[in-house]
Amino acid sequence: MSTLLIDGVAVPRLWYGTAWKEDATEGLVAQALAAGFRAIDTANQRKHYHEAGVGAAVRTALAGGLARDALILQSKFTFASGQDHRLPYDPAAPIATQVAQSFARSLEHLGVDRLDSLVLHGPSQARGLGPDDHAAWRAMEAIHARGQVRWLGISNTSAAQLDAMVAFAEVRPTFVQNRCYAERGWDREVRARCRAHGITYQGFSLLTANRQVVADRRVVAIAQRHAVAPAQVVLRHALDLGMIALTGTRDPVHMRDDLAIATLVLTDDDRAALAAVAPA
């Protein structure tokens, strides 16, 4: 997979997403690593992720000779409002303590002593940032200051919330991770703010949020010309728009197909057709 250079580190352009895999998590992450994925996204949010399952596969891969430096590991801190009863921290504790407890559990789950990226799963309120967001970010900055995480990020953010976080942060976000809707210009507004702030955008649900694009006859025609699947065209288009793309596939054949977009070269005509389907 092609890479982006971030702070001198080669970061893959396609990441494996581990949400909603439950008991299959360990096996699927093992398959993804075997297929060649070298960046894994998870969260310490048992409601949607099985972080310990991710860790079981990572431990095996590291014990089998995969170098820790060759693997990008990203997890998230999730406020109690986004969790079920299986909380990774004491909900009565101050937010800073919750972040510290959640992060410590992430390290335990994943069997590592540092993460590459720690993401605030989403602001605590629909508009703007509140005191909990500020407290969480300061606690994430403290983890960063201890050298236990290389980069910080924010997810499910609006453009205005991102601007507010950049203004507040002492350690600015390196990543934004958002659901990327083609019908919103492939999250045009947030991507523009990312470019302005020097932040790398990670797009998720590129396939599930854009089923009409994947099924569009013009996208199908592009895929046929290149002898690939429409899903691969959409993921490649996301890379061409400058994003890191996430894929949540559970199918080992799709894992290899998704990684193969590294060598898929879309033509100017393809790009014009994609722009007609959903302008960026």
Ligand X SMILES: NC(=O)c1ccc[n+]([C@@H]2O[C@H](COP(=O)([O-])OP(=O)(O)OC[C@H]3O[C@@H](n4cnc5c(N)ncnc54)[C@H](OP(=O)(O)O)[C@@H]3O)[C@@H](O)[C@H]2O)c1
Contact residues toward ligand X (CB under 6 A) are 17-19, 41, 121, 155-156, 177, 204-208, 229, 231-232, 246-251, 254, 257-258
- Residue 205: CB minimum distance to ligand X, A: 4
Q: Which is nearer to ligand X, 79 or 89 (CB)?
A: 79
Residue at token pair 């993401």: 119
Sign of the four-CA dihedral 151, 154, 155, 158: negative
- Residue 17: CB minimum distance to ligand X, A: 2
CB–CB of 141/169 below 8 Å?
Answer: yes
Q: Which is nearer to ligand X, 98 or 177 (CB)?
A: 177
Q: Which is nearer to ligand X, 129 or 231 (CB)?
A: 231
- Residue 53: CB minimum distance to ligand X, A: 13
Q: Which is nearer to ligand X, 101 or 156 (CB)?
A: 156
Distance CA 279, CA 268 (A): 14
Tell me the two tokens of residue 111: 């069997």
Residues 6+ apart with CB under 8 A from 184: none
Q: Which is nearer to ligand X, 265 or 268 (CB)?
A: 265
Distance CA 74, CA 10 (A): 15
Distance CA 100, CA 93 (A): 11
CB–CB of 191/242 below 8 Å?
Answer: yes
DSSP per residue, 149-197: EEEEEEES--HHHHHHHHHH-SS--SEEEEE--GGGTTTHHHHHHHHHH
DSSP per residue, 200-224: EEEEE-TTTT-HHHHH-HHHHHHHH
- Residue 62: CB minimum distance to ligand X, A: 20
- Residue 257: CB minimum distance to ligand X, A: 4
- Residue 13: CB minimum distance to ligand X, A: 14
Q: Which is nearer to ligand X, 90 or 250 (CB)?
A: 250
